[in-house]
Structure 1
Amino acid sequence: MKPKVSVIVPIYNAELYLEECIQSVLHQTLRDIELLLIDDGSTDNSLRICKEYSKKDNRVQVFSNTNVGQGLERNFGVKRAVGEYIAFLDSDDQYKEDMLEKLYQKAVETNADMVSGGYADVYNGNVIEKHLLGNEILDSNEKIKTAMSNLIAYEKKDGYVGCIAVWDSIFRRDLIISNDIQFLSEREVYSEDLLYKLTFMSYSQKIVFCSDITYLYRVNDTSFTNKISESVLIRIITLYDSINIRFGSTLKEYNLKQRITNRTFFTLRFNIKKASKLSDAKKFYRMVVHNQRLMDTIKSYQPTNLKNFAVYYLLRWKMIGILQILCKRS
């Protein structure tokens, strides 16, 4: 009999938190699961740790690949998983012990294609912020399209509704396979999780949100690279194009163009803020203002508050010195 849930964990040089991650899966109250650990060419002890757990628990499978990136390794895992539902877990994060049982029971009760729970940001072992979902059932095209649109971005204000990552949810495996839903590489597109989740939602008949906190997301101060690269700008533009191409017709009535423009701007603003901590921040800012495609993309953005107004026009006027001062102080 196939397991109820297959958990897929791509791993790259994750030895520091990997055992906590693995144990959070193996200690789930839902026992009928499988765990696919996919090493992505680690140079530390990650693969050894994985192999040790596979000897202790026959629910664990270990795979070792060349360094291809998280998105493609997830696709690799889905092809080998046999569970009724698929779950994704990042190698430095953890599940709460009843996550899979709660989400799976909800899926069975409602016959849902996708079930999502809330998550908490954890820093140095302490919960610093909770991200809650309301209890809601999306059982019509209109409700699902509205949720998809709001996940991309609000239409007339900053931000979005929900979690753009895939690790807060379980997904019906048959729907993934029958529609050939795959991750793009994070080396090609920004927020590959968002694209995957939107694509899955577009094929779903029923989606359920539950209010319980089920996932523990580790906040990592070193997650932004210390090396300035224009590739992040290219990936942001690719995200804009990909959403527009895939959902331009189905979400047109929800003012999709404005929503993805908003998404592009606050994704760019996030990276500008992160880059402000680096010694060569100005180099990154110059890349931004001289990337004509990117500047054209955010041209129709309508600032939602005073700070966004300042950032937007400093970019348009190429006043990178003042922009750097503003971002450092905020």
Structure 2
Amino acid sequence: MSGITVVIPTHLARVRNGMTKRAIGSVLGQTLPAESVVVEHDLTHAGAPATRDRGLQKVVTPWTAFLDSDDQLKPIHLERLMECAIETGADYVYAWYEAVGFGADPLPHFGRRFDPERPTQTTITILVRTELAQSVGFRQPPEGALINGERYGEDFQFTVECVKAGARIEHLPERTWLWNLHGANTSGDPDRGDARTR
């Protein structure tokens, strides 16, 4: 067994438009199969941090991988991240993405070794030791907050908190997943309506 659980936070619009099914399919097609998958639905507009954290707290395997419900893993994603974790002794491993729908890579950190003294955004499509992740958890950062001059969300805050907890973070400079830009993130925002076709 791989010892990995993949956590996928989602909401109704992404279930209806097929994105969640596509994300789950990409997990089921891994060369290193996940031991389990937790699909956590945001039924109360609690938002991504709360939904991701609820899913995370259900994990019982030693490792947790995260995937947003509008993105996809390439078949080798879990295998390559686990190999990197074993080879380096890392607690937290992140690869990189192919940006789908972007004019240019929005995060210019591909290939740069992670520096805990000056952390940079990694996205949340990571492999992390479950005990570490559960101790850190996810919460919404203050509006307009900056780290090293970069605006950040709950995923970057999670990374920074992992650094504070003494985690060893390694970057695998390979593009092992697809980051889809579509402008239809409605989780946590009931005023944006039911984006069934997005």
- Output the TM-score relative to the length of structure 1: 0.48
How do 1:296-315 residues align onto structure 2 when only pairs under 5 Å count?
none
Q: Which residue of 2 aligns with 1:5?
A: 4
Distance 2:184 2:53 in 1: 26
Quick check: 1:99 aligned with 2:77? yes
> Counterpart amino acid of 2:140?
S
| Aligned-partner Cα distance in 1 for 2:70–2:48 | 13
The equivalent position to 2:164 in structure 1, one of 180, 202, 207, is: 202
Matched residue, 1:216: 178
Q: 1:192 matched to which residue of 2?
A: 154
Question: Distance in 2 between the 1:189 and 1:77 partners?
Answer: 24
Q: Secondary structure of the equivalent of 2:136?
A: coil
What are the residue-to-residue correspondences of 1:106-185 with 2, within 5 Å? Answer: 106-123=84-101, 129=104, 133-134=110-111, 136=113, 143-146=115-118, 148=119, 151=120, 162-163=121-122, 165-167=123-125, 169-177=126-134, 180-185=135-140
**Correspondence for 2:55 among 67, 73, 77:** 77
Deviation at 1:211? Answer: 1.0
Shift in Å, 1:222: 4.4
In the TM superposition, residue 213 of structure 1 has moved relative to its aligned partner by 0.2
Percentage of matched positions with identical amino acids = 26
Amino acid in the other structure paired with 2:133: I
* TM-score, normalising length: structure 2: 0.77
Count of residues in Structure 1 that have an aligned counterpart in Structure 2: 176
Distance 1:215 1:129, change over 3 A: farther
C-alpha distance in structure 2 between counterparts of 1:84 and 1:170, whole Å: 10
Determine helix, strand or coil for the equivalent of 1:7: strand
Distance (whole Å) between structure 2 residues aligned to residue 10 and residue 82 of structure 1: 17
Structure 2 segments unaligned to the other structure (5+ residues):
145-152, 193-198
**1:18 is matched with which residue?**
20
- 2: CA distance, partners of 1:223 / 1:215: 19
**More relative contact order in 1 or in 2 (CA 8 Å, sep 6+)?**
2
Match of 2:42 in 1: 40
Check 1:32–1:40 CA distance in 2 against 1; reply closer, same or farther (3 A cut). Answer: closer
The residue number in structure 2 matching 1:252 is: none
8 A Cα contact 1:114 1:204, kept in partner:
no
**C-alpha distance in structure 2 between counterparts of 1:128 and 1:102, whole Å:** 27
Q: Do the aligned partners of 2:6 and 2:34 also contact (CA within 8 Å) in 1?
A: no
Shift in Å, 1:71: 0.8
Larger Rg: 1
Q: Contact (CA 8 Å) 1:113, 1:204: kept in 2 or not? A: no
CA shift for structure 1 position 133:
2.4
Relative to total residues, which structure has the larger helix share, 1 or 2? Answer: 1
Unaligned residue ranges in structure 1 (runs of 5+): 42-65, 152-161, 229-330
- Once the two structures are TM-superposed, the CA of residue 11 in structure 1 deviates from its matched residue by 1.1
Higher strand content, 1 or 2? 2
Q: CA deviation at 1:5?
A: 1.4
In structure 2, what is the Cα distance between the partners aligned to 1:135 and 1:214? 16
Distance 1:222 1:36, change over 3 A: closer
Question: Is the 1:135–1:210 contact (alpha carbons within 8 Å) kept by the matching residues of 2?
Answer: no
Give me the CA root mean square deviation.
2.6
Letter in 2 for 1:6: T
- CA 81–21 in structure 1, closer or farther in 2 if over 3 Å, else same: same
Distance 1:211 1:176 in 2: 22
Distance 2:34 2:184 in 1: 35
How far apart are residue 40 of structure 1 and its match? 1.4
* Superposed displacement of residue 189, structure 1: 4.5
- Whether the 8 Å CA contact 2:27–2:34 is kept in 1: the answer is no
Distance 1:116 1:220 in 2: 23
* CA distance, structure 2, for counterparts of residue 20 and residue 88 of structure 1: 15
- Find runs of 4+ consecutive structure 1 residues off by over 6 angstroms: none
Is this contact kept in 1: 2:92–2:167, CA < 8 A?
no
Check whether the contact 1:103–1:115 (CA below 8 A) recurs between aligned residues.
yes
